[in-house]
A = this chain, B = another copy of it.
């Protein structure tokens, strides 16, 4: 309709040059008038690019999931990339199916899955597909990885408690297999160690539920001597712990300080408001996508970027007895 060949249309619309400014303008006008949209499948067929990245996520609820997607989506849109998500797969088999199904539909993959161990990835990922592992415990030479700075966040929180004069700080752990939990516990131990309190380390078990926090709180109350601070591996357990303390007539933070991890929306509303470590989840998503983009653009044989970490913020509210504030850590 613009009296040119398809080749010129392609050149004009992609701005590759090689066409007069005048013909380019004409082609663009006709294209707009006809509401022409390039057929993406045909384009992908020849370019071997889909302009799409895939996100493989576990069965995640609530704020973490939505913030992560939000960050990824934001960064993807900025680069004109599409986002194919496959979330809420419960077991490794489902994850494997989803992973294989993404083959060929995406230029790169963001994988956050508790099921994704080394063997799993080797079995189901073609070597050629750039992949970024999020919060994964697998240490792979072949894939880039990005984690939350669980260690640093926990370290900062415990150091803060120590700075407030707390001497007997108990840690409520979460599910043992969880990589985040292990790192948070390590941060707890390291901070104690640095203050010369290594031998006071006490770990109560929990499973991330409010219920288990409540039980751990009661255990803590029964200890001799009583701890003067409780650091839970996540906010829900800290909230359960608060109930246990309140029920026993123990004052927070005067008698025992209580802190959590995650800064879920609820943390601000419980009484007393919960001190916690905020994870900048959207930022995690954005950063992951950017690492992935670089991996996609890099030559095939380039080594993956070194493992990186996104920062956390210490959120000081009433439950630990400090002055309320937020301190950002990068």
Contact = CB atoms under 8 A, between A and B. Distances in A.
A35 interface: yes
A198 B13 CA distance: 61
Contacts of A87: 69-70, 73
A86 to B, nearest CB: 7
Contacts of A239: 269
A66 B65 CA distance: 6
Q: How often does this chain occur in the complex, in copies?
A: 2
A43 to B, nearest CB: 8
A32 to B, nearest CB: 11
Contacts of A50: 41
Contacts of A88: 70, 73-74
Interface in A38-53: 38-45, 50, 52
A239 B135 CA distance: 34
Contact of A85 (B60, B69, B80): B69
A147 B44 CA distance: 36
A84 interface: yes
A98 to B, nearest CB: 7
A73 B57 CA distance: 11
4 closest A-B pairs by beta carbon, nearest first, are: A41-B44, A65-B66, A66-B66, A41-B45
Interface of A: 35, 37-45, 50, 52, 59-63, 65-67, 69-70, 73-74, 77, 80, 82-89, 98, 100-105, 126, 239, 265-266, 269-271
26 contacts: A37-B100, A40-B41, A40-B105, A41-B45, A52-B84, A61-B70, A62-B63, A62-B66, A63-B63, A69-B69, A69-B85, A69-B87, A70-B87, A70-B88, A73-B86, A73-B87, A74-B88, A77-B86, A77-B89, A77-B98, A82-B86, A82-B102, A84-B84, A239-B269, A265-B266, A266-B269
